[in-house]
Amino acid sequence: MIPNRLSSRLTLTALRWTAVSRTCPPSCLSTLSNCFLQNQTAKSKDGFHSESAVLRRILCSQSRFKLRPRETQRRSFSLSGANVVNSAPAHVQPYLRLMRLDKPIGTWLLYLPCTWSIALAAEPGCLPDVGMLALFGTGALLMRGAGCTINDMWDKDFDKQVARTACRPIASGEISRMQALVFLGGQLSLALCVLLCLNYYSIALGASSLSLVITYPLMKRITYWPQLVLGFTFNWGALLGWAAVKGSCDWSVCLPLYFSGVMWTLVYDTIYAHQDKEDDVKVGVKSTALMFQERTKLWLSGFTAAMLSGLVVAGVNAEQTLPYYAALSAVAVHLARQIYTVDINKAEDCWKQFSSNRNLGLMLFLGIVAGNLLKESKEI
């Protein structure tokens, strides 16, 4: 007990000093981080609950601080998510990080299937409805934030034990579960306002997805296929976008598009899950990464083939033209390269390949728009 107490006090003192001086090099922070995590494991034995909470807050604060040369310490204007969060008032930043505003890739991956559906539903020869795209973009931002809040409320105890997630606002103690619940209510209320701007069919269809948003975080405790449930959740916009434009779903287009989106999610989120597979084993959560292991690339190739098949069916039923199929070819090359080159045992490479899926989704969107514009010229 005495060595644990001494270690905890020394680490706490060191971290407090770095918070004031801000001169701790990355290697020092790494050492202190390891000591901190050991203290977290031992805290139930030595009784240092309050000091462990302080350690967590200081460490997470330091991990977000980046040393820069003296001449570049002035803030430069940037619209990147991380800079927006860092420029916000200090008491607001934890809430922005809770909704992952500093990591917008998740919002993109939720939003892009909506854009595909809206673009496919546009009249021949016309651009997609910009107002509808903006409305769905707002909804994607709010619902992704709400989903992350729910996820972090469920996973507070798990997140504390995983290096990548230990600094999330709820796990680190910056935000309590009650504060997160109030914040969640605000996000869902605003998302409801967005949904009420749509037709009645779309309102009912959109509301029906809430059960998936709430239950998805629990799936990693139950099944090795939480990525499949995420696919059902993240690609609901493939159904909702068409319904918002047309008033109802054309299932001959919407179902293949939705299926393709689910397959796409299985590809990118399995790659994402490989970042945490060692920690997942320790804390007892499941994922497709753990189930597939060294056969991951074979499975991802199968998901890719299924995704492309669904997109071909959706394109044929929507009477798409050459630019759409050219975009599909580019998507196929992108996915093949992604699967072939990804190193599933390197977290940094998994994140890089995962993040590249935003460009893939944008390529498909532009292909749909170009293909739709060509419809009119063919008819003329």
Number of domains within the chain = 1
Among the residue ranges 42-51, 146-155, 184-193, 234-243, the one predicted with the least confidence is 42-51
Helices (H), the chain: 2-21, 26-46, 49-63, 81-87, 93-98, 105-121, 130-154, 156-159, 177-195, 200-207, 210-222, 226-234, 237-246, 251-273, 277-283, 288-292, 296-317, 322-341, 347-355, 357-379
Rounded (5°) CA angle 140-141-142: 90
Residue 19 placed within a domain: no
- Domain extent, residue 173, equals 89-374
How crowded is the C-beta side of 254, counted as CA atoms within 13 Å?
A: 21
Dihedral through CA 345, CA 350, CA 353, CA 356, nearest 10? 180
Model confidence at 61, in pLDDT bands (50, 70, 90)? low
Residue 275 placed within a domain: yes
Residue 38 placed within a domain: no
How crowded is the C-beta side of 317, counted as CA atoms within 13 Å?
A: 17
- Residue 297's domain is classified under what CATH number? 1.10.357.140
Is it the case that residue 30 has pLDDT exceeding 80? no
Q: Please say whether the beta carbons of 145 and 184 come within 8 A.
A: no
Question: How much of the chain, in percent, has pLDDT values that exceed 70?
Answer: 78
Structure tokens, 4:
């644990």
- Identify the pLDDT of residue 57: 53
Among the residue ranges 11-20, 130-139, 307-316, 328-337, the one predicted with the least confidence is 11-20
> How far apart are the C-alpha atoms of 139 and 246, rounded to whole Å?
19
Q: What is the DSSP letter of 58?
A: H
> How far apart are the C-alpha atoms of 287 and 269, rounded to whole Å?
9
> How far apart are the C-alpha atoms of 327 and 213, rounded to whole Å?
30
- Give the residue among 227, 107, 100 at the shortest CA–CA distance from 170: 100
**Across the chain, what does the average pLDDT equal?**
83
Residue 118 placed within a domain: yes
Is it the case that residue 294 has pLDDT exceeding 60? yes
Residue 66 placed within a domain: no
- Averaged pLDDT for residues 231-258: 96
> How far apart are the C-alpha atoms of 156 and 134, rounded to whole Å?
33
> How far apart are the C-alpha atoms of 68 and 251, rounded to whole Å?
53
Q: What is the DSSP letter of 320?
A: -
- Identify the pLDDT of residue 162: 78
Question: How much of the chain, in percent, has pLDDT values that exceed 90?
Answer: 62
Name the pTM for this structure: 0.81
> How far apart are the C-alpha atoms of 147 and 170, rounded to whole Å?
14
Q: Please say whether the beta carbons of 300 and 270 come within 8 A.
A: yes
Residue 67 placed within a domain: no
Residue 21 placed within a domain: no
> How far apart are the C-alpha atoms of 75 and 59, rounded to whole Å?
23
Among the residue ranges 27-41, 219-233, 321-335, the one predicted with the least confidence is 27-41
- Identify the pLDDT of residue 237: 96
Cα 168 from chain centroid (whole Å): 14
Specify burial of residue 82 (Cβ count, 10 A radius: 0-12, 13-18, 19+). Answer: middle
248 against 80, higher pLDDT: 248
- Averaged pLDDT for residues 358-369: 97
Is it the case that residue 205 has pLDDT exceeding 90? yes
- Give the residue among 346, 268, 286 at the shortest CA–CA distance from 158: 286
> How far apart are the C-alpha atoms of 367 and 133, rounded to whole Å?
16
Is it the case that residue 94 has pLDDT exceeding 80? yes
Q: If DSSP codes are grouped into helix, strand and coil, which group holds residue 183?
A: helix
